[in-house]
Amino acid sequence: MTSQPAQGTESHSHGAPSRPLLPGADLASVLDAMLDGVLVFDMTGTLVLANAAARRMLPIEEPAPPLPEWPERYGIFQSDARTPLPAEQLPVSRTLRGEPVFTEELLIRNDLNPEGIWVAATAAPLLDQSRQPSGALLVLHDVTEARRAQQVLRRERDWASTILDTVGSLVVVVDREGRIVSFNRACEKTTGYSFEEVIGQTVWDLFVPPDEVEQVRRVFEQLRAGEFPNQHENHWVTRTGQKRLIVWSNTALLNAEGQVEYVIGTGIDVSERRLLEAQLRQAQKMEAVGRLASGVAHDFNNLLTIISGYAQMLWEGLPADSPLRDAASEILGAAGRAASLASRLLAFSRKQKANLRLVDLNELVSDLERMLRRVIGEDIELITVLSPNLPKIQADPVQLEQVLMNLVVNAREAMPEGGRIVIETALADLGDDYVRTHLGARKGPHVLLAVSDTGCGMEPDVLRQAFDPFFTTKESGTGLGLSTVYGIVQQHGGQLWAYSEPGAGTTFKIYLPAAEALPGPTQETPVSEAIPTSSATGVVLVVEDEADLRRLIAGILEQAGYRVLSAGDPEEALRIAAEQPGGVDLLLTDVVLPRMSGRQLADRLREQFPSLRVLYMSGYTDHAAVHNGALAEQAPFLEKPFSKQTLLSKVRAALTATH
């Protein structure tokens, strides 16, 4: 166990040599005064020297055991605190094998230290006078307290992180440059990005839409300057391209110099709330106007009763050859027309009595079809597409006939030079997503009544006011046709939705709750296919002039594994496709596009890519698109609005279909 002492030293044990260093002090006393354990080994791994601190950490025996026995004998564990360190992995063993100097944290748990102490073990080679290795030095630095402090800090950090992750609000922390340093679970759920993906990136580069970047930068500059805008709101764009409106509350964290070092943003996603608020304001406006209309109609009816009564008496009291009888007849006719107007006001205000009974919508449309053909004239083609086996609905058939008549008349007036009207029925199942974003909607099976035309269509500002009473774009008319439709649909607990584009016609969709379940064999269910789980492949060219919708579609398809190319108009689509040496597998295009239809774009691209698959999408129904010439029969079609599942299933079906 003993070894020859170095020249000029004496050694009688594993204590330090006694050569004097200073008057009254020798090397042994210096080493024993150190708080770190110091051990010296020769090239055979035999212990040569151990100071007092090392002996307090390890119950070193006389003579010390061979180095391979140390981990088991002295309780030296790896950093997992459970497994003894293999002898060959002892720092001093590795240094004696010629490995570089390193430091490793180890746990020592033995009779001297039953609770265990953590040490940073650093080994270094010792050289003789000829600079050749002669042994190894091992220094053990007690890091137990530091490690415990780190564990406490880590627990506090984990605890804080856990609290932030359980909070429903979005919490994001950014540094002075706007780089993200913290991002809680609610942020991950809302955006679709993970913590690891966003750390170090700026919020405006990753989440903020281009048209709002300057606004967000200005808010951030105010925060850095010490001007603390407590709240602001802006949109965040998710991984799928969807825009979410977030209201932020901001808190600045200052450094010792009083400068802003970090900004904590706590956000609430108010996208759906704002949508419902807008719908509620519209409903409240319509309700207020409805109450006014109801009061006016009742008073108006009283006056009309007086007018028509006295006019009737006047007409009956006049001689048959009196010229005034024609005047009295005109008064009676005008009073009758005014009474009809009052009736329509009552229908809008939902004060008109509804005689509800079970109604077969297909039968109602079929019975009314002959009258509708007479109303629209010979220059307009009327097409009905009725889905079989529809459930019945609880409705007033007279009021539903009025709804259908008003929609058809409205469509006819949008086509002064002729055109085509398509009336469709179908089964629809309104799900959670639809109910959550449509005020008053009810989940479950509904019957759809859709009326589409090939007329002039409506500008967005006109479409927003289409159901307002007394609003009309015509030179004459009351503007109560669509208002009456709105009131009747609301009275029946239904939903009314309109889709229109200038120059491309209009589609009105009415969803009425089904009153009975379908028989088992003939029951239809809404499309809710499972998202394909296999890896999606292929190049998809998305052509949609609505930028937000285009980003959403692209994001969904990219997340599913497709390579996506995006274009806002046909010219851009043709240019992008021409730059693809590998070609394009699928064209997903809106039917109505500026300067060129989706069908014309598909024909142009097929000249370049003969095997190109095409999937059309539109807010119009597929039957309406076919009958107005925008689509060929049996063309793959995706009807807006659509769900993520429906989009992926339709794309997969279009790519796998045989030509």
Please state, in angstroms and as integers, the Cα–Cα distance from residue 550 to each residue in 500, 565, 604, following that order: 18, 10, 21
DSSP string, 531-591: PP-SPP--EEEEE-S-HHHHHHHHHHHHHHT-EEEEESSHHHHHHHHHT-TT--SEEEEES
pLDDT, position 548 = 73
Domain edges within the chain: 20-148, 167-269, 279-348, 357-521, 539-656
For residue 100, count CB atoms less than 10 angstroms from its CB and return exposed for 0-12, middle for 13-18, buried for 19 or more: exposed
Question: For the domain 167-269, what is the CATH code?
Answer: 3.30.450.20
Which CATH class for the 357-521 domain? Answer: alpha beta
Fold of 539-656: Rossmann fold (3.40.50)
3-class DSSP state for residue 266? strand
Share of the chain above pLDDT 70, in %: 76
Evaluate if residue 139 carries a pLDDT over 90: yes
Please state, in angstroms and as integers, the Cα–Cα distance from residue 85 to each residue in 54, 65, 67, 90, following that order: 18, 16, 12, 7
List the single range of 289-303, 409-423, 638-652 with lowest mean pLDDT.
289-303
pLDDT digit string (tens) for 170-182?
A: 888 888 888 888 8
| 278, containing H or E segment | helix 271-317
Evaluate if residue 291 carries a pLDDT over 80: no
Sign of CA dihedral 77, 82, 87, 93: negative
The CA distance from 470 to 69, in Å, is 98
| Lookup result for tokens 């269910």 | 525
Evaluate if residue 304 carries a pLDDT over 70: no
pLDDT level of residue 362 (50, 70, 90 thresholds) = very high
pLDDT, position 137 = 92
Fold of 20-148: Beta-Lactamase (3.30.450)
Evaluate if residue 571 carries a pLDDT over 90: yes
Fold of 279-348: Helix Hairpins (1.10.287)
Measuring CA to CA, which residue among 535, 579, 583 is closest to residue 561? 535
The answer to whether the CB of 599 falls within 8 A of the CB of 630 is: yes
Identical topology for domains 279-348 and 539-656: no
Measuring CA to CA, which residue among 341, 403, 401 is closest to residue 371? 401
User: How much is the average pLDDT of 272-298?
Assistant: 60
pLDDT digit string (tens) for 11-34?
A: 334 544 555 555 655 777 888 888
- Residues 6 or more apart whose CB falls under 8 angstroms from that of 125 comprise 95, 96, 98, 101, 133, 135, 136, 137
| Pair of tokens at residue 282 | 């519209």
pTM higher than 0.85 for the full model?
Answer: no
pLDDT level of residue 6 (50, 70, 90 thresholds) = very low
The CA distance from 47 to 1, in Å, is 7
pLDDT digit string (tens) for 36-86?
A: 999 999 999 999 999 999 999 998 888 889 999 999 889 999 877 778 888
Q: What count of other Cβ atoms lies within 10 Å of the Cβ of residue 33? A: 11
Could you tell me which residue, 229 or 421, shows the higher pLDDT? 421
